[in-house]
């Protein structure tokens, strides 16, 4: 039975263009905690683990703007902004003028070495939720490694992180810096 006092659930729908993952439509409400962002990331990593869905490590921006003609309940998008390296790479400081509430990097199975030797086709990802440490608002992050069958090999979420302690958070922080 639905609790009328309960907040709406977070609903996520991946979308693609030309067969490649282009982003996610978020409906209901935005994730409200680091744990909920870790759950969002788990879904995103599972999608990225599907063979051919993502060719290389890609950065996604959380956008609170609504798409044109949004479906009822839509709250925003998580959009692919570019790759980590190469011709379509995101530039350092690209998001400095309008800092997004979060950045995500997804790595397809071809780009990572699984943390467990019995798995050979896993994808991974990291979500960085930037804070304002000088105001007492810590950076938060989550990391997930999973396969397209739903097997989770690693899932971690933390608050109060030093962005330089992990390669993914360091790269995402670099993209945010001016």
From first to last of its 178 residues, the chain has per-residue pLDDT tens of 566 677 789 999 999 998 889 999 999 999 999 999 999 999 999 999 998 899 999 999 999 888 888 889 999 999 999 999 998 999 888 888 888 999 999 999 988 888 888 887 899 999 999 875 555 468 899 999 998 887 899 999 999 888 889 999 999 988 888 5
| Residues found in the chain | 178
Which letter, b or e, does each residue of 57-73 get, where b requires 16 or more Cβ atoms within 10 Å of its Cβ?
bbbbbbbeeeeeeeeee
- Looking at residue 38, what DSSP letter applies? H
HEC string for 58-74: EEEEEECCCCCCCCCCE
- Looking at residue 120, what DSSP letter applies? -
Q: pTM of the prediction?
A: 0.91
């Amino acid at each position: 039975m639905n609790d009328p006092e309960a907040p709406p659930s977070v609903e996520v729908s991946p979308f693609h263009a030309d067969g490649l993952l282009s982003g996610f439509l978020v409906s209901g409400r935005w994730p409200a905690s680091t744990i909920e962002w870790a759950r969002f990331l788990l879904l995103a990593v599972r999608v990225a683990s599907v063979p051919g869905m993502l060719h290389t490590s890609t950065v996604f921006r959380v956008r609170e703007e609504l798409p044109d003609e949004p479906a009822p309940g839509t709250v925003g998008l998580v959009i692919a902004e570019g790759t980590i390296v190469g011709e379509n790479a995101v530039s350092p400081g690209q998001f400095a003028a309008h800092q997004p509430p979060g950045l995500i990097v997804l790595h397809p199975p071809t780009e990572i070495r699984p943390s467990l030797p019995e798995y050979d086709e896993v994808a991974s990802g990291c979500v960085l939720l930037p804070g304002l440490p000088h105001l007492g608002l810590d950076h938060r992050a989550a990391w997930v490694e999973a396969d397209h069958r739903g097997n989770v090999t690693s899932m971690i979420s933390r608050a109060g992180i030093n962005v330089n302690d992990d390669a993914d958070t360091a790269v995402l922080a670099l993209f945010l810096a001016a």
